Structure 1
Amino acid sequence: MAVTAEGARRKERVLCLFDVDGTLTPARQKIDPEVAAFLQKLRSRVQIGVVGGSDYSKIAEQLGEGDEVIEKFDYVFAENGTVQYKHGRLLSKQTIQNHLGEELLQDLINFCLHYMALLRLPKKRGTFIEFRNGMLNISPIGRSCTLEERIEFSELDKKEKIREKFVEALKTEFAGKGLRFSRGGMISFDVFPEGWDKRYCLDSLDQDSFDTIHFFGNETSPDTVQRCREIFFPETAHEA
């Protein structure tokens, strides 16, 4: 099918930006092949990108294999956009240690380790603090837990608000230090400098002067594909 001038312009001026967990995939799981195939079809009409809190290796593990992810998406924003890829190449990288300084960073890490040492949970595993370029990811149970243990902790967290209480303690201890906290997924929360949430990538996108940016996130799965069909493929939106 020939690409019209209007269609070509829309591809250049419209971006669909997707969260990863809960939008393109279940939390920390691989993308469904049908969803992956649809995204490439969508890419024929608009530019597509992903923004996730995880580091690039975890995003790549969920959405493809190795470096193919930066080839399948026009934009890849890892770690809330503090690590940015555009059209297959690394665009920029920011680090939390340079922004916060070593003293504040160590105070933060030490507080978290002490707090978790006093927690009594049904299970604890390993990797309680994951150090990323743009954030610290804190997990009271430990990120090396199994899927079954992850679900068990998530259910307990809903009842006892383990992460919520942890975050409140951090907000009190580090008030006025320019830190923000975000609970997401099932077992952890992120700590990052003010302004380094998923909106961080918008500064980069502003330079590319898109007419429209559609953002899909916060538990839109399993409706993500259907919503995209309704917007960009209305002629097939009601097909099974």
Structure 2
Amino acid sequence: MNYVFDVDGTLTHARALMPPEFKSWFVNWMKDKSVYLVTGSDRPKTIEQVGKDIVDKCNMSFQCCGNDVWRYGISIAQTNFTVPDDMMSWLEYEIKNSTYPDRFGNHIEKRVGLINFCVPGRNLPDEERDEYFNWDKAMGERLDISKRFNERFQGFEAAIGGQTSLDIFMKGRNKSQVYNTIGTPMVFFGDRCETTGNDFPLVQMLKPTDTFYHVTGPEETFTLLKEKYSG
């Protein structure tokens, strides 16, 4: 069995550290299992959140939605992605014209094979993160931006990731690209499994021999693992 995990919202809360009790249990649990990470974050952020003792002991770590691939701490593949000028201008316009009142900087972050786009900015403090998340749920800003982006830029796609951002990559260079590398049977845990979420492309690839759990946070992931997969 291949156990596959998103990170933000699944093993951790958004941009937070893995809960200590969960991490201690997980490190022991994974010792005799095939474990993979598939996250939109880059490698340094993932190590900061869950620790090198987990990241480098996974069979593979798929960073940046599978565009930066690591095996036991060694880089084995990367996807090149150059942001077109017209796309950058379009995104900057969206930041400027959003009706959300606050900006905190670091709105367009270039990663391996993708860019992470955040209207309030990735530097926003935790309390503002929750505020934007709730505002966005009511206003649907990220959903609207992603739909208009996908209509305008045909060779690319945008998907909702985490609490505040969008992941933008070349078409098909989303989390679905890891499926054939990992293979079946697979158990996948993710928090953005809805059709507009960045976990959905992987969920779409699953076969009848696979299972997925659309979780609400690390507490639910921890509970499911203990109840169903701790034998």
**TM-score bracket for this pair, using the shorter chain length:** 0.7 to 0.9
* TM-score of the two chains, using structure 2 as the length reference: 0.82
Show the counterpart of 1:22. Answer: 9
Alignment of 1:4-153 (within 5 A): 14-64=1-51, 67-97=52-82, 105-153=84-132
Q: Does the 8 Å CA contact 2:156/2:171 hold for their aligned counterparts? A: yes
- Structure 2 residue 220 is the aligned partner of structure 1 residue 223: yes
| Corresponding letter in the other structure for 2:19 | D
Q: Does the 8 Å CA contact 1:70/1:86 hold for their aligned counterparts? A: no
Displacement after TM superposition at 1:122 (Å): 1.9
CA distance in 2, matches of 1:233, 1:162: 40
Alignment of 1:176-195 (within 5 A): 177-195=154-172
- For structure 2, list consecutive stretches of 5 or more residues without a partner in the other structure: 192-213
More displaced, 73-82 or 197-206?
197-206
| Corresponding letter in the other structure for 1:16 | Y
CA distance in 1, matches of 2:78, 2:174: 14
SS in structure 1 of the partner of residue 167 of structure 2: strand
Q: Does the 8 Å CA contact 1:54/1:79 hold for their aligned counterparts? A: yes
Displacement after TM superposition at 1:179 (Å): 1.4
Q: Does the 8 Å CA contact 2:155/2:171 hold for their aligned counterparts? A: yes
| Corresponding letter in the other structure for 1:40 | V
2:140 corresponds, among 134, 157, 161, to 161
Displacement after TM superposition at 1:198 (Å): 1.2
- Relative distance call for 1:178 and 1:146 in structure 2 (3 A) is same
SS in structure 2 of the partner of residue 91 of structure 1: strand
More displaced, 123-132 or 112-121?
112-121
* TM-score of the two chains, using structure 1 as the length reference: 0.79
Aligned length: 207
Q: Does the 8 Å CA contact 2:46/2:55 hold for their aligned counterparts? A: no
Superposed CA deviations along residues 154-173 of structure 1, whole A, max 9, x for unmatched, are 12112222212222221232
CA distance in 1, matches of 2:75, 2:66: 12
Displacement after TM superposition at 1:212 (Å): 2.3
Displacement after TM superposition at 1:28 (Å): 0.9
CA distance in 2, matches of 1:119, 1:70: 36
CA distance in 2, matches of 1:180, 1:94: 15
CA distance in 2, matches of 1:155, 1:53: 21
CA distance in 2, matches of 1:213, 1:187: 28
- For structure 1, list consecutive stretches of 5 or more residues without a partner in the other structure: 1-13, 235-240
Show the counterpart of 2:173. Answer: 196
Q: Does the 8 Å CA contact 1:94/1:134 hold for their aligned counterparts? A: yes
- Relative distance call for 1:24 and 1:70 in structure 2 (3 A) is closer
Tell me which protein shows more helix as a share of its residues: 1
Displacement after TM superposition at 1:145 (Å): 0.7
| Corresponding letter in the other structure for 1:202 | Y
More displaced, 180-189 or 67-76?
67-76
